Structure 1
Amino acid sequence: MALLLPATTLDEARALLAAMAARGLTLATAESCTGGLIAAALTAIAGSSAVVVGGFVAYSNAMKTRMVGVPEEMLRRAGAVSEEVARAMAEGALRETGADLALSCTGIAGPGGATPGKPVGLVFVGVARRGGGPAPVERHLFPGDRAAVRAATVDAALALARRTLGEP
């Protein structure tokens, strides 16, 4: 069964890959709430292997620590769904893969999982760039069901990467 992604998402992925390939840059992902959908959107495009080096699906806190080096203390203090963890995930993916750019996301896709101050739809998307200083992180509150939150997160991550490269 083929993965069905909206044409607009595939267009964003295609544009990001083209911009990165033109610059000779590589990309990695560290995903939680999307479960690999960012990497899936990118690798749905033929020729993506020239840019995409790999990715991590760090769904549990233990995997966030083990795979991309998110400190356990940070997870206890800030919680998995936080700006700090999104930043650490992006920076960890950059470090672990040697890529030039890394995207991360952590959030609550629902329908359960909300906590006081962290509602369903809350997502943090981060991007780290080799030599680019601390990873910028965006906070989003996406409406809709689980599928809608996850799809919006993929689109937000791709758009953040393009903006990081100075692309429209």
Structure 2
Amino acid sequence: MSIAAQILELARTKGVMIACAESCTGGLVAAALTELPGSSMMFDRGFVTYTNAAKTALLGVKPGTLHMHGAVSEEVAKEMATGALAGSDAGLAVSITGIAGPGGSDNKPEGRVCFGLASGIQVWSVTQEFGALGRSRVRTAARDYAQTLLLEGLHTLP
């Protein structure tokens, strides 16, 4: 059973809707979750907020957070997840912001992706270093990791 199918089954069992806020993945998580029949029972909405302005306008990411930490940071990932939760009917939201490549810097290398997960209980974040795999592979790895986080988050919910 695919991870998306596991998410669908567990979210449906728990009566939890899911939202996502994506930057570098450009909607890949939403696409994976909605590919399944019956996904409308667990997927509420997705936000693709590629620019800083979109992150601020649609998710309520604070300009000061973006200025202080940059878009690719756990702080921004947390605010994105919290904003997706607040702007939806979901009980669990995942966010993704990163550098898919090509490019990056010494401080923020290609393949660095920050994730946030928010529920009514908690908000947390994690950074994964996928490495310079190439744009497509970093985006796919980020999509897959976000789905793993959603599944883990669903297991923590009552």
Amino acid at match of 1:120: E
Count residues in correspondence: 155
Q: For residues 77 and 64 of structure 1, what CA distance do their matches in structure 2 show? A: 15
Q: CA deviation at 1:165?
A: 2.1
From 97, 103, 114, the counterpart of 2:94: 103
Pairing 1:1-168 to 2, within 5 Å after superposition: 11-112=2-103, 114-130=104-120, 132-133=121-122, 135-143=123-131, 144-166=133-155
- Secondary structure of residue in 1 paired with 2:37: coil
Give CA deviations for 1:68-114 in whole Å, capped at 9, x if unaligned. 000001000000000000000000000011310001000000012x1
Q: For residues 59 and 94 of structure 1, what CA distance do their matches in structure 2 show? A: 18
Tell me the TM-score normalized by structure 1.
Answer: 0.89
Q: CA deviation at 1:126?
A: 1.2
- Secondary structure of residue in 1 paired with 2:87: helix
The answer on whether the counterparts of 2:92 and 2:154 sit within 8 Å (CA) in structure 1 is: no
Q: Which residue of 2 aligns with 1:4?
A: none
Q: For residues 141 and 76 of structure 2, what CA distance do their matches in structure 1 show? A: 19
Tell me the TM-score normalized by structure 2.
Answer: 0.95
The answer on whether the counterparts of 2:21 and 2:47 sit within 8 Å (CA) in structure 1 is: yes
Q: Percent identity, aligned pairs only? A: 45
Unaligned runs of 5+ in 2: none
Unaligned runs of 5+ in 1: 1-7
Amino acid at match of 2:127: R
Q: CA deviation at 1:162?
A: 0.9
